[in-house]
Amino acid sequence: NNNVLNQITHVDHPHFMAFVPGPNNYVSVLADFLASGFNVFPTAWIVGAGAEQIELTTINWLKSMLGFPDSTEGLFV
């Protein structure tokens, strides 16, 4: 549990300063509109790399155990 939770990046934390907003102009407003519309942060590897790696490792383990080909992909819902 501690190994997984330590690998999660909390982008909503007050001390998280990686994604600094741009200046107040037309181009940055348009870029922010597009980024917010596509909601890129929850699907980024940086947000939950530890848990994502566990999911990928488990899927690879199940795929080899069940005899599926290497091209098989999946996810847990």
Question: Residue ranges per domain, the chain?
Answer: 2-66
Average pLDDT, the chain: 76
Residues paired with residue 48 on neighbouring β-strands, in sequence order = 8
In the predicted structure, residue 39 carries a pLDDT above the cut 60: no
- pTM comes to 0.44
Handedness of CA 34, 36, 37, 39 (dihedral sign): positive
Q: Tokens 């200046």 sit at which residue?
A: 23
CA dist 59 and 75 (Å) reads 7
Name the token pair of 24.
């107040």
DSSP 53-64: HHHHHHHHHHHH
In the predicted structure, residue 69 carries a pLDDT above the cut 90: yes
CA dist 76 and 9 (Å) reads 20
